[in-house]
Every structure is written in C-alpha cells, then in structure tokens.
Amino acid sequence: MKISLMLSALAVSTSLYAYDYSIELYSGVVANMNEDVTYKLSGQEDIVLSNVKLSTKPFTPPPYYGLRISLWDVDNTAWEFEHTHQKLYIDDEDLIAPLEHWEMTDGFNFFFVNRAWKLDEYMEGLRARVGAGLVITHPDITYNGVRYHGHGHGAITYGGGYDLSGYVWQVGVQKVFDITQNWYLSLESRLTYAGAWAEDKNDGISELQNRALHFNFGLGYNF
C-alpha cells in the first residue's frame, strides 16, 4: 500500500514537473453593456431598472485587477486558473426609490478555469483562451435609508458578505512581449458574459447579466 502511494505521488509530481508555469497580474479598463437589473425583496414590489448603465471605475478603490496562473504543456496548450476582480456600479440617479444605492465593488468576482493556446505560428507571442467559471459577489445596497453591506476580507474569503451567485464564461486574445527570458508584458482583450442573482444583507436579490469587453495590460513571469 505504501509503495503504491509513493508511486502515485511520484507519477503526479513527474507529470507536474513536465509543465512550464507562468503567472500574470493585470489591470485595465472595461466597457460594460447596459443591462436590465431587477431588485427583489419579499413583500415588496420588484424594482426593475431597464437598460441601466453599469460602470466598473477600474481605478477607484478597490481597484479592478486580475491574476492568472498557467500550466503550459509541451504542445503549447495550457490549463489556467484565473481570478478577475470585476466591479459594478449603478449611478444613484438611475435608481428607483426606495432603492437608493447599488454597487458591487468589493467584488463581482470571476473565478475561471481556462484552456489556452500559444499561436506563435501566426504571430510571435500570440495567445488565445476560452474559460468558464463562477461568480462570487459582494453587494453594497442602500434601501429605504439603510445601508446593507457585509464586511469580508477579500474575494477568496467566502462568507462575510461574499456569496456564490452565478456563472461566467470568457473568450480572449492576448499578445505577450518578452522583456527578459522570464519577465514579459501582456496586452489582452477579453469578452465576458456573467449571469448572477446576488443576495444582500437586506435579503434582497439583485438579478442581472453582465456583458463586458475588457482591455487588459499586465506583467507576467515564466518559471
């Protein structure tokens, strides 16, 4: 039994060793499409915001950012884990009373598993990827003069106002520019689509979609 476990561990470690790893940190700007947002509260009439403008305000704290870890195989394909800290705001003047403030700025967080490809035969440093995953939200709602905002400790800390609230998928094209043998710069454009039903501390439910075009710039490192 012990020998079997040791052989299994050796096989896993050998398999992982065959991969090349990279890690990227990025920021950027986001163009969100206008969407219909519905706010539901038990015993109250639904508040429907039709074709309302959603903003990201990427450089307003907390900032918009992303982190991606890639495991590249010898065939120039990769499996990736990615977190995007997307944020959503609705301007107060676009709301309908008694809903007075609406934002998800501690996060409308995306957690992806991606499949990626190096396309150097078409252009040096060209990459493409598709991915799917989950949305974890942290609403900050003011309803009838009362603010309902859970206090958490980051997007990966589940609870404290963070809840699993939906699904997301993406497609993207990236160009990397080598600085050294290990370090590189990254420019990327991505399309994301998310559907969410986010519950706040008022037991209100926000139902919405988020269709967005992301323009990202970042720094990466090859191990």
Q: Is residue 11 one of the residues assigned to a domain?
A: no
- 57 in a structural domain: yes
Q: Which domain holds residue 151?
A: 20-222
> Amino acid identity, residue 14?
T
Domain count, the chain: 1
Distance CA 80, CA 148 (A): 35
- CATH number of the domain bearing residue 126: 2.40.160.20
Tell me the two tokens of residue 30: 């986001």
Residue 83 in contact with residue 111, Cβ under 8 Å?
A: yes
Cis ω before 62 (30° cut-off from 0): yes
Alpha-carbon separation of residue 136 from 29, 100, 106, 169 (angstroms): 20, 23, 10, 14
Specify if 3 maps to a domain.
Answer: no
pTM of the model: 0.87
In a domain, 10, yes or no: no
Instruction: Give a yes or no: residue 8 inside a domain.
Output: no
Q: Could you tell me if residue 5 is inside a domain? A: no
Per-residue model confidence as pLDDT tens for the chain (223 residues)? 545 544 444 444 444 455 699 999 999 999 999 999 999 999 899 999 999 999 999 999 999 999 999 999 999 999 999 999 999 999 999 999 999 999 999 899 999 999 999 999 999 999 999 999 999 999 999 999 888 886 554 445 555 678 899 999 999 999 999 999 999 999 999 999 999 999 988 889 999 999 999 999 999 999 9
**Residue at 13 is within a domain:** no
For residue 45, the 8-state DSSP code is: P
Q: Please say whether the beta carbons of 137 and 162 come within 8 A.
A: yes
**pLDDT of the residue at 18:** 54
Q: Is residue 14 part of a domain?
A: no
pLDDT at residue 201 in the model: 86
